[in-house]
Structure 1
Amino acid sequence: MPEGHALHRLARRQQRQFGGQRVQVQSPQGRFGPEAALLDGMRFATAEAWGKHLVYTFDDGPEAASSARMVHIHLGIYGAFTEEELPMPEPVGQIRMRMIGADLGVDLRGPNACELYTPPDLDALLARLGPDPLRADADPAQAAAAIARSRRAIGSLLMDQKVIAGVGNIYRAEVLFRAGIDPLRPGTSITAEEFAEIWADLVALMAVGAERGRIHVVRPDDDHGAPAYAANRPRTYVYRRAGEPCRLCGTPIAWQEMEGRNLFWCPSCQH
């Protein structure tokens, strides 16, 4: 499942590609058919991301805000967009939504959710999400309070979208390493200073990811030695490096499962 920076990058890209244009909206698969018919020919007004959720706003023009309709998309594990130059080819496979602008089109396949939203729907979504480090309107105090009153492990809390929206497994592992915090520590043990460091690091690192389209977490002075965990990926400190020597101290990187997800950390640097 893409982490939050990828959704913000996608929202910005689609805003540049379609913003202000009247678009064609189709559902070749048919599952979004009635909804697509309502949106077809409307103006693509905005694309915004909250954590791992993407929300489009369509309207009939700047002076017709009362006509606005929203679409909520959650890609989940299998969802993905593909771009096509015009004229777009005939649909192939299970395309939930096809959107065609003046210069190009996009196909959406396999999302967890692709649905019309109302303002109350959006309010309900935001009410169950924690602050998003990539949004200027985020309130980190909300996340700090949730962590401070929980005895769950901080490694678990950072992955909880109700605590902080958009953080996935890579950012979870890497910001805790960079802060020198044991992922098994309970939230109640995290000091205000430690939380502030985690939050500031998430804001900075996720912004880099949104800008570059790739997660970069290793400081320049440490960006050497063993290669990345996979081809064409930047190096990580601990993520997917179980058993390999820590880039800083040489201790083998530890691994365990935490709430169904792989957790990586350095037992010496994070204590």
Structure 2
Amino acid sequence: MPEGHSVHRIARQFDRNFVGRTVAATSPQGRFAQGAAVLDGRTATAVRAVGKQMFLEFDDDLWLRVHLGMYGAWDFAGEILVDPTIASANGRMGQTNQRGTMLPEGDADDPIMDAAGENSLTSIGAPRRARVHVRMSEQTTGLADEGDDWPPPIVGQVRLRLMTALTCADLRGPTACEVQAPEEVAATIAKLGPDPLVDDVAEGEERFTSVVRRKPTAIGLLLMDQAVVSGIGNVYRAELLFRARQNPHTPGREVREEVVRDLWRDWVRLLRIGVETGQMMTMDDLDPASYRAAMASRDDRHWVYRRAGLPCRICGTAIVVEEVATRKLYWCPSCQK
């Protein structure tokens, strides 16, 4: 499931490539035909991400709400104007796979490539235009097909296609895709916990701490509850708890207040890193060689996630994996007593 940093990156791409432009909307799959007809021909006026949900505003106070869920993904094609505040353009766009040809200006030297052929450290600076076909999703492992056809051919089950004169975005497999009125958007967002990139950070800390400290629910479940805090998924949950040396089974109300506050502050930091790099980099204080290895390989990027049975990087104890609420929880039973 795409975690919060991915959705914020996707929203930024929509902001640069769709907001202010007339959008053609269709539902090739047919499951969103009525909603697409309502949006077709309108101008995108704003976009925002809150946690794992994105809201794209159109004129006449209409909003498109998209929650990618476990299997949803956006495929982008055409001419992409990359957000200068995030590392992308011939690189990562929120844990993505892409290939394409960058225009020559401003290319970074000696890029770091991961096993999927993704460049994680370019385009933090001036915006660039790139002719690419890019898939934006956590779950994607394959590369999108290149091609010069316009509009791009429809591949697979496309719930929604949004197109401007230059850019195409195809939505596949979302948990939610619906048109909402402003009051419905407000009601949806009101149900979500604080997001460090949306809410006041200090107020978010107080809200998060207050909720966690009165809950009997295990902290490992609370971090995944989008009504408690927005954007944290399976990877960040495991890594945040390890970094805090916190047992995931401790009831929230029994977790020391300073630990709860540290979890929030660490989430603020890791979310920003994720948005900037497109990668869930959760290891600190790496030397240059180790950092490059981590950026090039997901196996070197995390403390405990997907390391079941392997020795803890700190104490050597075998990392444990459990199924909790249908999701895999990774933790060290020694460091996180």
Show the 5 A alignment for 1:95-134: 95-134=158-197
Q: Given residue 24 of structure 1, which amino acid in structure 2 is its aligned partner?
A: A
Instruction: State the shift of 1:255 in Å.
Output: 2.1
Instruction: Report the counterpart of residue 203 of structure 1 in structure 2.
Output: 268
Instruction: Report the counterpart of residue 302 of structure 2 in structure 1.
Output: 236
Instruction: Report the counterpart of residue 66 of structure 2 in structure 1.
Output: 73
Deviation digits for residues 102-155 of structure 1 (CA, Å, limit 9, x no counterpart): 321111111111111112211221222111133244622222111111111111
**Structure-2 separation of matches of 1:233 and 1:133:** 27
Instruction: State the shift of 1:92 in Å.
Output: 3.0
Instruction: State the shift of 1:157 in Å.
Output: 0.7
Q: Given residue 27 of structure 1, which amino acid in structure 2 is its aligned partner?
A: S
The one of 220, 225, 233 aligned to 1:155: 220
Instruction: Report the counterpart of residue 252 of structure 1 in structure 2.
Output: 318
1:4 maps to 2:4? yes
- The structure whose RCO (Cα within 8 Å, separation 6+) is larger is 2
Contact 2:208/2:264 (<8 A) preserved: no
**Structure-1 separation of matches of 2:53 and 2:301:** 27
Contact 1:215/1:234 (<8 A) preserved: no
Percent identity over the alignment is 45
Instruction: Report the counterpart of residue 20 of structure 2 in structure 1.
Output: 20
What TM-score, normalized to structure 1? 0.90
Q: Given residue 68 of structure 1, which amino acid in structure 2 is its aligned partner?
A: D
SS in 2 for 1:6: helix
Instruction: State the shift of 1:2 in Å.
Output: 0.7
CA RMSD of aligned residues (A): 2.1
Instruction: State the shift of 1:176 in Å.
Output: 0.9
Deviation digits for residues 43-77 of structure 1 (CA, Å, limit 9, x no counterpart): 11112111111110011xxxxxxx22101111112
Contact 2:270/2:281 (<8 A) preserved: yes
5+ residue gaps in structure 2?
79-148
**More displaced stretch, 123-132 vs 168-177:** 123-132
SS in 2 for 1:159: coil
SS in 2 for 1:221: coil
Q: Given residue 256 of structure 2, which amino acid in structure 1 is its aligned partner?
A: T
5+ residue gaps in structure 1?
60-66
1:58 maps to 2:51? no
- Runs (4+) of structure 1 moved beyond 4 Å? 222-225, 230-234
Contact 1:216/1:234 (<8 A) preserved: no
**More displaced stretch, 250-259 vs 149-158:** 250-259
Instruction: Report the counterpart of residue 122 of structure 2 in structure 1.
Output: none
**Structure-2 separation of matches of 1:137 and 1:101:** 34
Contact 2:11/2:47 (<8 A) preserved: yes
**Structure-2 separation of matches of 1:208 and 1:41:** 36
Q: Given residue 42 of structure 1, which amino acid in structure 2 is its aligned partner?
A: R
**Structure-2 separation of matches of 1:152 and 1:22:** 46
Instruction: Report the counterpart of residue 29 of structure 1 in structure 2.
Output: 29
**Structure-2 separation of matches of 1:100 and 1:203:** 33
What TM-score, normalized to structure 2? 0.73
Q: Given residue 330 of structure 2, which amino acid in structure 1 is its aligned partner?
A: F
The 1:198/1:232 distance shift into structure 2, 3 A limit, reads closer
Contact 1:70/1:117 (<8 A) preserved: yes
SS in 2 for 1:83: strand
**Structure-2 separation of matches of 1:243 and 1:98:** 43
SS in 2 for 1:130: coil
